Amino acid sequence: MRLSQMFGKTLRSEPAEAESVSHRLMLKAGMVYQVSAGVYSYMPLAWRVLRNIEQIIREEMDAAGGQEVRMPVLQPLELWEASGRSAAFGDTLFKLKDRRQRPLCLAPTHEEVITQMAKQHIHSYKDLPRLPYQIQTKLRDEARPRAGLMRVREFDMKDLYSMDLDQAGLDVSYDKMVQAYKNIYKRCGLPALAVEADSGAIGGKDSHEFILIAESGEDRVVRCQGCGFAANLERASGVKPPLEKEDPLPLEEVSTPGIHTIKGLADYLDVPEAKTLKAVFYSADGQVVFVTLRGDLEVNEVKLKNLLRAADLRLATDEEVKAAGLVAGSASPIGITDLKRVADDSIELGSNFVVGANKPDTHFKNANYPRDFRIDVMADIAEVKEGQGCPQCGKPLSIARGIEVGHVFKLGTFFSEVFGAYYLDAQGKQQPIVMGCYGIGVGRLMAAAMEQNHDDKGIIWPVPIAPYQVHICALSMDKPDVQSAADQLYSTLQGEGLEVLYDDRDESPGVKFNDADLLGMPVRLTVSPRNLKSGSVEFTERVTMETRMVPLDGVVAEVKSILANSN
Ligand code: ATP
Ligand code: MG
């Protein structure tokens, strides 16, 4: 590709709207065009990278036994009502009507349709296992599209669905996919980490996310340096610090004027925050829920939502709290009988807690469970804190931010039972197909690759996904010998099957070098009058920025050897 002809220009200035490194680099390199919030066009450079990534994914899926199919984006809403996921996705699901007023939606994922296809095409145990997949557009009306391609409303995803006889078969398919995913990330230059993930309300058994540790990520990952345990904060548990057990003392009312926070309360009464119980009020599908946990901990809303099997969970509003007769700042479960009471199991790790007295400016000392109050559901609903013990080995846990670049999920028989996707086993008995689903976002993977592979000058493309392998910088294009040598090099390299971006523009060396650094092709070849005098070109590897002279007749071999060694 001649840069002078390319559709897409680099920016000389910094894009003001950039929200992350990859977003900035993509805008600066002229790779994407924003059409509206979370909706992008890809310019030729980005599209080449995306197609390279797709190809890597396709190769790995095929190698693991995948079969490529294609399903529609436009789907009858009915299907989503049958599975209950119209409600579960809520406003994230794009809904529309056709000319006959039939309700439709734009698919955010494809379990419903693939299960219907399985129902029609899988009849016997001889038809299993099957691993259909597609690489195709998903639509999600995300609440907060952000950071360029990281969170968008229209994106391409590879989604594979495993269909097996039983749980053991599912385990085999799952392991194959985990391995295929590891291969994909490696080829894309990403040290992605497999972490235990939340499996949501549908409650499949196992689920792992692949996370790239990065400051700009929206996910938080809990990791143990001791045993390698890693889990998304949404589902992780830690060992909560126990308190010394004391003999229960009598409940004692204390006046706490103007005190509404746990910190204020702990300071005022000179006790550690862990010695208090906090009350938090939620609205779960419209019902107020009274949540109690130790004062040094916070509620993990994902755990709470799963525990309550709620489609919608949010903090209760002041009005809802008042209407429920609760005294915010001085509330406790003591004497509460008409609301659902949920507690974190930390309330049993200690005794003689300070709690609210359910009247303004008043607390109790020495509250003890179950002596003083009742709970309807007790479980681990607390968020892990840095330094808590690992649930597997007890060593301290750390928390880091990361980008979710893939998700694998054991669905079990939820969808096959909803849609009646059964097969006959060897005994002639009807069994539901056991399913799993496996997703990778192609655009987010490209953005993550840029987050991981760049320096202050620009992108450093990993060789397998680079838009072009070689970037020719021809300096002084007005000199006929430069032009003819550069043209010649361009066609020789292309003739050797290499992908080449040729900067044939009439621009200064500074501009050309800056663009070459920004665009980040693995090898840069500089043709200049001075280099040509010695029959050489300047050879620069983007990753190290090391430069050396290579004779013109040795360039092809040198380029090939560098590219081969970087794969
Ligand atoms: P998130 O938690 O980031 O919203 P998700 O868990 O809803 O994602 P999945 O349904 O697991 O997403 O989708 C599989 C993969 O698709 C994700 O691992 C991610 O790579 C990609 N993906 C999901 N949502 C988006 C989005 N809005 N924009 C870009 N890529 C996305
Ligand atoms: Mg996910």
Per-residue pLDDT of 371-408, as tens digits, reads 999 999 999 999 999 999 998 898 999 999 999 999 99
Q: In angstroms, how far apart are the furthest CA atoms of the chain?
A: 97
Q: Nearest ligand to the C-alpha of residue 142?
A: 1
Ligand 1 atom nearest to CA at 445:
20
Q: What dihedral do alpha carbons 86, 90, 96, 101 form, nearest 10°? A: 60
Which of 404, 405, 442 to mutate for ligand 1's pocket (most ligand atoms within 8 Å of CB)?
Answer: 404
Kindly give the distance from the C-alpha atom of residue 38 to the centroid of ligand 1, in angstroms, as a whole number: 13
Name the architecture of domain 15-69+107-218+399-451: 2-Layer Sandwich (3.30)
- Where, residue-wise, is CATH 3.40.50.800 in the chain? 468-566
Q: Using one digit for the tens of pLDDT, what is the confidence trace for 315-338?
A: 999 999 888 888 888 888 898 888
Token representation of residue 287: 């019902």
Is residue 73 scored above 80 in pLDDT? yes
Ligand 1 atom nearest to CA at 405:
20
Q: Nearest ligand to the C-alpha of residue 210?
A: 1
- Where, residue-wise, is CATH 3.90.960.10 in the chain? 252-379
β-bridge partners, 195: 209
Kindly give the distance from the C-alpha atom of residue 352 to the centroid of ligand 1, in angstroms, as a whole number: 45
Q: How confident is the model at residue 204 (pLDDT cuts 50, 70, 90)?
A: low
Identify the residue whose C-alpha is closest to ligand 1 atom 31. 441
d(CA 524, CA 533): 19
Name the pairing type of β-strands 230-232 and 219-224. Answer: antiparallel
Is residue 201 scored above 60 in pLDDT? no
- Stated as kind and residue range, the H or E segment containing 219 is strand 219-224
Q: Which residue has the tokens 């808590």?
A: 388
Q: Are 45 and 111 in contact (CB under 8 A)?
A: no
Backbone torsions φ then ψ of 401, nearest 5 degrees: -85, 150
Q: Using one digit for the tens of pLDDT, what is the confidence trace for 226-254?
A: 898 999 998 899 999 888 888 999 999 99
- Residue-averaged pLDDT of the chain: 93
**What pTM, to 2 d.p., does this model score?**
0.89
Kindly give the distance from the C-alpha atom of residue 188 to the centroid of ligand 2, in angstroms, as a whole number: 19
Q: Nearest ligand to the C-alpha of residue 151?
A: 1
Q: What is the third-level CATH fold of 468-566? A: Rossmann fold (3.40.50)
Name which of 512, 168, 196 is nearest 384 in CA terms.
196
Is residue 567 scored above 70 in pLDDT? no
Kindly give the distance from the C-alpha atom of residue 158 to the centroid of ligand 1, in angstroms, as a whole number: 11
Spell out which residues line ligand 1, taking CB within 6 angstroms: 109, 140, 142, 151-152, 155, 157, 404-407, 439-441, 443-444
Per the omega criterion (within 30 degrees of 0), is the bond before 551 cis? no
Which of 150, 178, 444 to mutate for ligand 1's pocket (most ligand atoms within 8 Å of CB)?
Answer: 444
What confidence score (pLDDT) does residue 329 get? 83
| DSSP 8-state symbol, 151 | B
Identify the residue whose C-alpha is closest to ligand 1 atom 19. 441
Per DSSP, the three-state class of 473 is: strand
**Which CATH code for domain 252-379?**
3.90.960.10
Q: Which residues contact 429 (CB under 8 A, 6 or more apart)?
A: none
Ligand 1 atom nearest to CA at 142:
27
- Where, residue-wise, is CATH 3.30.930.10 in the chain? 15-69+107-218+399-451
